[in-house]
Amino acid sequence: MASGEGLTSNEYMQHHLQNLVYGKLPVGYERADGHIVEQAQWTFAHSPKEAVDMGFWAYNVDTLGWSIFLGLIFSFVFYRVAKNASTDVPSGFTNFIEMCVEFVNSNVKEIFHAKNEVIAPLSLTIFCWVVLMNTMDLVPVDVLPLAAQWITGDPHLYFKVVPTTDPNITFGMSIGVFILIIYYSIKIKGIGGFLGELTLHPFSSNNLFVKIMFMPFNFLLEGVSLVAKPISLALRLFGNLYAGELIFLLIAMLGYWQLPLHFVWAVFHILIVLLQAFVFMMLTIVYLSMAHEHH
Protein backbone atom coordinates (compact mmCIF):
# COMPACT_ATOMS: atom_id res chain seq x y z
CA MET A 1 0.00 0.00 0.00
CA ALA A 2 1.91 3.01 -1.25
CA SER A 3 -0.12 5.93 -0.06
CA GLY A 4 -3.52 4.40 0.54
CA GLU A 5 -6.33 4.25 -1.97
CA GLY A 6 -7.81 7.72 -2.44
CA LEU A 7 -5.39 9.26 0.10
CA THR A 8 -2.57 11.71 -0.47
CA SER A 9 0.75 11.11 1.27
CA ASN A 10 -0.11 13.66 3.95
CA GLU A 11 -3.58 12.16 4.52
CA TYR A 12 -2.06 8.68 4.69
CA MET A 13 0.37 9.78 7.41
CA GLN A 14 -2.32 11.57 9.41
CA HIS A 15 -4.68 8.60 9.15
CA HIS A 16 -2.10 6.17 10.50
CA LEU A 17 -1.09 8.51 13.32
CA GLN A 18 -4.65 9.01 14.58
CA ASN A 19 -6.02 6.80 17.35
CA LEU A 20 -9.43 5.17 17.42
CA VAL A 21 -11.04 7.53 19.95
CA TYR A 22 -14.28 6.89 21.82
CA GLY A 23 -15.85 9.85 23.58
CA LYS A 24 -18.87 12.06 24.09
CA LEU A 25 -20.07 14.71 21.61
CA PRO A 26 -22.33 17.53 22.82
CA VAL A 27 -25.78 18.44 21.53
CA GLY A 28 -25.70 20.40 18.27
CA TYR A 29 -22.19 19.26 17.32
CA GLU A 30 -21.62 19.08 13.55
CA ARG A 31 -19.76 15.88 12.68
CA ALA A 32 -17.24 15.37 9.88
CA ASP A 33 -19.94 14.01 7.55
CA GLY A 34 -22.20 17.02 8.16
CA HIS A 35 -24.54 15.19 10.53
CA ILE A 36 -25.78 17.26 13.51
CA VAL A 37 -25.81 15.54 16.90
CA GLU A 38 -29.38 15.90 18.19
CA GLN A 39 -28.54 14.72 21.71
CA ALA A 40 -25.30 14.17 23.58
CA GLN A 41 -23.91 10.76 22.70
CA TRP A 42 -20.91 8.53 23.22
CA THR A 43 -19.45 7.49 19.88
CA PHE A 44 -16.25 6.93 17.91
CA ALA A 45 -14.51 9.97 16.43
CA HIS A 46 -14.67 10.23 12.64
CA SER A 47 -11.92 12.83 12.37
CA PRO A 48 -8.97 14.17 14.38
CA LYS A 49 -11.01 17.31 15.15
CA GLU A 50 -13.81 15.24 16.65
CA ALA A 51 -11.28 13.39 18.80
CA VAL A 52 -9.97 16.69 20.16
CA ASP A 53 -13.46 18.09 20.72
CA MET A 54 -14.42 15.04 22.80
CA GLY A 55 -12.24 16.51 25.54
CA PHE A 56 -10.42 14.87 28.41
CA TRP A 57 -12.85 11.98 28.99
CA ALA A 58 -12.16 10.32 25.65
CA TYR A 59 -10.52 6.93 25.31
CA ASN A 60 -7.99 5.70 22.78
CA VAL A 61 -9.61 2.32 22.30
CA ASP A 62 -6.87 0.84 20.13
CA THR A 63 -4.13 1.83 22.58
CA LEU A 64 -6.01 0.45 25.57
CA GLY A 65 -6.96 -2.73 23.72
CA TRP A 66 -3.46 -3.58 22.51
CA SER A 67 -1.74 -2.69 25.78
CA ILE A 68 -4.17 -4.83 27.81
CA PHE A 69 -3.96 -7.67 25.30
CA LEU A 70 -0.15 -7.69 25.34
CA GLY A 71 -0.15 -7.45 29.13
CA LEU A 72 -2.39 -10.52 29.31
CA ILE A 73 -0.07 -12.40 26.94
CA PHE A 74 2.89 -11.58 29.19
CA SER A 75 0.99 -12.66 32.31
CA PHE A 76 -0.27 -15.88 30.75
CA VAL A 77 3.10 -16.94 29.35
CA PHE A 78 5.00 -16.33 32.58
CA TYR A 79 2.24 -17.96 34.61
CA ARG A 80 2.38 -21.11 32.47
CA VAL A 81 6.17 -21.27 32.64
CA ALA A 82 6.17 -20.76 36.42
CA LYS A 83 3.44 -23.37 36.87
CA ASN A 84 5.35 -25.98 34.85
CA ALA A 85 8.76 -25.15 36.32
CA SER A 86 10.72 -28.04 37.81
CA THR A 87 14.11 -28.72 39.37
CA ASP A 88 15.34 -30.22 36.11
CA VAL A 89 17.63 -28.29 33.77
CA PRO A 90 15.36 -25.92 31.80
CA SER A 91 15.23 -26.19 28.04
CA GLY A 92 13.65 -24.42 25.10
CA PHE A 93 11.24 -21.61 25.84
CA THR A 94 11.44 -22.16 29.60
CA ASN A 95 15.17 -21.51 29.44
CA PHE A 96 14.54 -18.26 27.55
CA ILE A 97 12.04 -17.06 30.18
CA GLU A 98 14.44 -17.90 33.00
CA MET A 99 17.17 -15.97 31.19
CA CYS A 100 14.88 -12.91 31.07
CA VAL A 101 14.10 -13.24 34.78
CA GLU A 102 17.77 -13.65 35.67
CA PHE A 103 18.73 -10.68 33.47
CA VAL A 104 16.28 -8.37 35.24
CA ASN A 105 17.11 -9.79 38.67
CA SER A 106 20.85 -9.24 38.20
CA ASN A 107 20.29 -5.59 37.24
CA VAL A 108 18.08 -5.05 40.28
CA LYS A 109 20.71 -6.57 42.59
CA GLU A 110 23.46 -4.36 41.14
CA ILE A 111 21.52 -1.10 41.53
CA PHE A 112 18.93 -1.58 44.26
CA HIS A 113 20.53 -2.34 47.63
CA ALA A 114 17.56 -1.91 49.95
CA LYS A 115 15.11 -4.68 50.80
CA ASN A 116 11.89 -4.51 48.83
CA GLU A 117 10.21 -7.52 47.23
CA VAL A 118 8.19 -5.32 44.85
CA ILE A 119 11.08 -3.91 42.82
CA ALA A 120 12.19 -7.05 40.94
CA PRO A 121 8.67 -8.14 39.81
CA LEU A 122 7.87 -4.54 38.90
CA SER A 123 11.06 -4.25 36.83
CA LEU A 124 10.38 -7.56 35.07
CA THR A 125 6.82 -6.49 34.25
CA ILE A 126 7.96 -3.11 32.91
CA PHE A 127 10.70 -4.61 30.76
CA CYS A 128 8.65 -7.42 29.21
CA TRP A 129 5.49 -5.36 28.76
CA VAL A 130 7.32 -2.46 27.11
CA VAL A 131 9.23 -4.87 24.85
CA LEU A 132 5.95 -6.43 23.70
CA MET A 133 4.34 -3.04 23.06
CA ASN A 134 7.43 -1.77 21.21
CA THR A 135 7.61 -4.94 19.11
CA MET A 136 4.25 -4.10 17.52
CA ASP A 137 6.16 -1.43 15.60
CA LEU A 138 7.85 -4.21 13.60
CA VAL A 139 4.53 -5.37 12.13
CA PRO A 140 4.06 -3.87 8.62
CA VAL A 141 2.15 -0.62 9.14
CA ASP A 142 -0.82 -1.48 6.90
CA VAL A 143 -1.46 -5.10 7.88
CA LEU A 144 -3.43 -4.72 11.11
CA PRO A 145 -5.20 -1.43 10.20
CA LEU A 146 -6.43 -2.98 6.92
CA ALA A 147 -7.54 -6.10 8.80
CA ALA A 148 -9.49 -3.92 11.26
CA GLN A 149 -11.10 -2.02 8.39
CA TRP A 150 -12.08 -5.26 6.69
CA ILE A 151 -13.56 -6.75 9.89
CA THR A 152 -15.58 -3.63 10.76
CA GLY A 153 -16.52 -2.78 7.18
CA ASP A 154 -15.34 0.80 7.73
CA PRO A 155 -12.69 1.78 5.12
CA HIS A 156 -11.85 4.96 7.07
CA LEU A 157 -11.40 3.34 10.50
CA TYR A 158 -8.55 4.74 12.58
CA PHE A 159 -6.42 2.00 14.15
CA LYS A 160 -2.98 2.37 15.76
CA VAL A 161 -1.24 -0.78 16.94
CA VAL A 162 1.82 0.50 18.83
CA PRO A 163 0.74 1.52 22.36
CA THR A 164 4.06 3.20 23.20
CA THR A 165 3.55 5.72 20.37
CA ASP A 166 0.66 7.08 22.43
CA PRO A 167 1.85 9.47 25.19
CA ASN A 168 -1.15 8.43 27.30
CA ILE A 169 0.45 5.00 27.80
CA THR A 170 4.01 6.21 28.40
CA PHE A 171 2.84 8.92 30.81
CA GLY A 172 0.52 6.45 32.52
CA MET A 173 3.46 4.15 33.27
CA SER A 174 5.81 6.97 34.27
CA ILE A 175 3.21 8.53 36.59
CA GLY A 176 2.77 5.11 38.21
CA VAL A 177 6.52 5.01 38.83
CA PHE A 178 6.38 8.60 40.13
CA ILE A 179 3.68 7.68 42.65
CA LEU A 180 5.87 4.82 43.89
CA ILE A 181 8.81 7.22 44.21
CA ILE A 182 6.76 9.57 46.40
CA TYR A 183 5.28 6.69 48.39
CA TYR A 184 8.60 5.03 49.23
CA SER A 185 10.35 8.36 49.85
CA ILE A 186 7.79 9.20 52.53
CA LYS A 187 7.63 5.62 53.87
CA ILE A 188 11.40 5.25 54.25
CA LYS A 189 12.36 8.81 55.26
CA GLY A 190 9.15 10.12 56.74
CA ILE A 191 7.39 13.29 55.67
CA GLY A 192 10.01 15.40 57.41
CA GLY A 193 12.87 13.61 55.70
CA PHE A 194 11.19 13.85 52.30
CA LEU A 195 10.48 17.57 52.70
CA GLY A 196 14.02 18.03 53.99
CA GLU A 197 15.41 16.58 50.77
CA LEU A 198 13.33 19.06 48.79
CA THR A 199 14.19 22.14 50.86
CA LEU A 200 17.63 21.66 52.46
CA HIS A 201 19.64 20.63 49.37
CA PRO A 202 21.70 21.42 47.37
CA PHE A 203 22.34 24.73 49.20
CA SER A 204 22.66 24.63 52.97
CA SER A 205 24.25 26.47 55.84
CA ASN A 206 24.87 26.11 59.56
CA ASN A 207 23.24 29.50 60.05
CA LEU A 208 19.51 29.00 60.65
CA PHE A 209 18.50 32.27 58.98
CA VAL A 210 20.56 31.53 55.85
CA LYS A 211 19.21 27.99 55.77
CA ILE A 212 15.64 29.33 55.78
CA MET A 213 16.54 31.80 53.02
CA PHE A 214 17.85 28.95 50.87
CA MET A 215 14.68 26.85 51.23
CA PRO A 216 12.64 28.42 48.38
CA PHE A 217 15.57 28.07 45.96
CA ASN A 218 16.23 24.49 47.03
CA PHE A 219 12.55 23.62 46.73
CA LEU A 220 12.44 25.09 43.22
CA LEU A 221 15.53 23.19 42.06
CA GLU A 222 14.66 19.88 43.72
CA GLY A 223 10.99 20.16 42.76
CA VAL A 224 11.86 20.62 39.11
CA SER A 225 14.28 17.68 39.33
CA LEU A 226 11.60 15.50 40.93
CA VAL A 227 8.87 16.36 38.42
CA ALA A 228 11.30 15.97 35.50
CA LYS A 229 11.73 12.27 36.28
CA PRO A 230 8.30 11.04 35.10
CA ILE A 231 8.22 13.56 32.24
CA SER A 232 11.60 12.51 30.83
CA LEU A 233 10.79 8.84 31.43
CA ALA A 234 7.59 9.10 29.40
CA LEU A 235 8.84 11.38 26.62
CA ARG A 236 12.00 9.35 26.00
CA LEU A 237 10.04 6.17 25.31
CA PHE A 238 7.29 7.94 23.35
CA GLY A 239 9.69 10.03 21.24
CA ASN A 240 11.87 7.15 20.13
CA LEU A 241 8.98 4.85 19.21
CA TYR A 242 6.97 7.62 17.55
CA ALA A 243 9.98 8.58 15.41
CA GLY A 244 10.46 4.94 14.46
CA GLU A 245 6.81 4.67 13.43
CA LEU A 246 7.13 7.78 11.28
CA ILE A 247 10.05 6.25 9.42
CA PHE A 248 8.09 3.02 8.82
CA LEU A 249 5.22 5.10 7.40
CA LEU A 250 7.56 7.02 5.12
CA ILE A 251 9.03 3.75 3.86
CA ALA A 252 5.53 2.33 3.31
CA MET A 253 4.74 5.15 0.88
CA LEU A 254 7.48 3.96 -1.48
CA GLY A 255 5.32 1.15 -2.88
CA TYR A 256 7.17 -2.00 -3.89
CA TRP A 257 10.51 -0.38 -3.02
CA GLN A 258 9.51 -0.48 0.63
CA LEU A 259 10.34 -4.16 1.12
CA PRO A 260 14.16 -4.02 1.29
CA LEU A 261 14.16 -0.71 3.17
CA HIS A 262 11.53 -1.99 5.59
CA PHE A 263 13.68 -5.02 6.36
CA VAL A 264 16.81 -2.93 6.93
CA TRP A 265 15.03 -0.45 9.22
CA ALA A 266 13.23 -3.26 11.07
CA VAL A 267 16.54 -4.97 11.85
CA PHE A 268 17.95 -1.71 13.20
CA HIS A 269 14.70 -0.94 15.01
CA ILE A 270 14.98 -4.17 17.01
CA LEU A 271 17.79 -2.45 18.93
CA ILE A 272 15.51 0.51 19.68
CA VAL A 273 12.69 -1.80 20.78
CA LEU A 274 14.92 -3.57 23.31
CA LEU A 275 17.02 -0.56 24.32
CA GLN A 276 14.07 1.68 25.18
CA ALA A 277 12.48 -1.05 27.30
CA PHE A 278 15.82 -1.56 29.05
CA VAL A 279 16.29 2.18 29.67
CA PHE A 280 12.76 2.55 31.08
CA MET A 281 13.35 -0.40 33.42
CA MET A 282 16.80 0.78 34.55
CA LEU A 283 15.65 4.33 35.28
CA THR A 284 12.73 2.94 37.26
CA ILE A 285 15.14 0.90 39.38
CA VAL A 286 17.48 3.88 39.84
CA TYR A 287 14.67 6.26 40.85
CA LEU A 288 13.20 3.78 43.33
CA SER A 289 16.67 3.07 44.72
CA MET A 290 17.14 6.80 45.32
CA ALA A 291 13.75 6.90 47.06
CA HIS A 292 14.98 4.23 49.50
CA GLU A 293 18.26 5.95 50.35
CA HIS A 294 18.72 7.83 53.61
CA HIS A 295 20.54 11.07 52.88
Amino acid at 197: E
Catalytic choice (60, 123, 218, 240) = 240
Catalytic residue at 116? no
β 41-44/59-60 pair status = unpaired
Q: Which long-range contacts (CB under 8 A, 24 or more apart) does 78-87 make?
A: 78/128
**Helix, strand, coil: what percent of the chain each, to 5?**
70, 5, 25
Catalytic choice (107, 116, 236, 289) = 236
CA distance 54 to 25: 6
Catalytic residue at 80? no
Q: What does the CA dihedral 138, 142, 147, 149 come to, rounded to 10 degrees?
A: 140
Residue 74 CB contacts under 8 Å (≥ 6 apart), including other chains: 125, 128, 129, 132
Catalytic residue at 236? yes
Catalytic choice (205, 207, 225, 232) = 232
Residues annotated as catalytic are: 232, 236, 240
